[in-house]
Structure 1
C-alpha cells in the first residue's frame, strides 16, 4: 500500500480528511514532539484506526506532507506518485 493510500484509507475510516485530522490533533495539543503511541491511541480509541494507518498519520504530524522518494516511480506495492502527499481529501482531487 502506498503512503498516500494509507492516508486515503484513514479518511475512509474516520470520515475526516488528513488536514481535518491534523486540525483536531493540534487542538488536542499534539504536534511534532508528541509520542507516536499517544496519537496511535487517540486514533484507535476515537475511530478504530489500526497501527499502520495511525503511523502514517504520525509521520504527517511530525514531518508534514512530504515523504522520501524511495518508492516514487517504482512498480512495487509501496509506490507513490510523488513525494508530496495530498492532505485535502479525495474529493478535492
Structure 2
C-alpha cells in the first residue's frame, strides 16, 4: 500500500487529514515546536485507541509527525 493510500484510508475512516493529526498531536503535547517529543508507541497507542486505526495506518501518521514522510510522499 502506498503512503498516499494510507492517508486516504485514514481520512475516510476518521474524517481527519494530516493537518488535523498534527494539531491534535500538538494539543496532546506529543510535539513541541513541530518536533516529535514522544516515542512511536505513544503515537500508535493513541491512534489505535482513539481512532481504531491498525498498526500500519498508525505508523503512517507517526511517519508524518516525525517528518519521515509528508503529504506528497508516495
TM-score, L = length of structure 1: 0.66
Structure 1 runs, 4 residues or longer, greater than 3 Å off: none
SS in structure 2 at match of 1:16: coil
CA shift, 1:17, in A, is 1.2
CA shift, 1:19, in A, is 0.9
Number of corresponding residues: 68
Q: Highest CA radius of gyration, 1 or 2?
A: 1
Q: Name stretches of at least 5 consecutive residues in structure 2 with no aligned partner.
A: none
**Structure 1 contact 14–47 (Cα < 8 Å) conserved:** yes
Q: Name stretches of at least 5 consecutive residues in structure 1 with no aligned partner.
A: 67-83, 86-93
Higher helix share: 2
TM-score, L = length of structure 2: 0.81
